[in-house]
Amino acid sequence: MDVFTQRLTQPFNVYGNVVIPPGLYHFTRHQLTYGSRQDRRFTFNLFERFGTYFDGHLNELRVRTNYRPNPRFSLSTTAQWNRFNLPQGNSSVVFGGLQANYSFSRFLTTSTIVQINTANNQAVSANIRLRYNYRPDSDLYVVYNIGPTFLSLNPGNPQPLFGQRLTVKFTYSFSPSRERTVKSSTNQKEVEP
**75-118 tens-digit pLDDT:** 999 999 999 898 888 888 888 999 999 999 989 999 999 998 88
Model confidence at 13, pLDDT cuts 50, 70, 90, reads confident
The pTM of the full predicted model, rounded to 2 decimals, is: 0.71
Selected from 3.10.450, 3.90.320, 1.10.150, 2.40.160, the CATH number assigned to the domain covering 2-184 reads 2.40.160
Torsion (CA) 101, 116, 53, 4 in degrees, nearest 10: 30
Asked if residue 67 has pLDDT above 90, the reply is: yes
DSSP assignment, residue 71? Answer: T
CB atoms near residue 93 (< 10 Å): 17
* Residue spans per domain, the chain: 2-184
pLDDT on residue 49: 94
Model confidence at 178, pLDDT cuts 50, 70, 90, reads low
Model confidence at 66, pLDDT cuts 50, 70, 90, reads very high
Task: Check if the beta carbon of residue 49 is closer than 8 Å to that of residue 34.
Answer: no
From 49-58, 131-140, 153-162, 177-186, the region with the lowest mean pLDDT: 177-186
pLDDT on residue 12: 85
List all residues 6 or more positions away from 154 whose beta carbon is below 8 Å from its beta carbon. Answer: none
pLDDT on residue 137: 84
Asked if residue 55 has pLDDT above 90, the reply is: no
If DSSP states are collapsed to H, E and C, what string results for 127-147?
Answer: EEEEEEEEECCEEEEEEEEEE
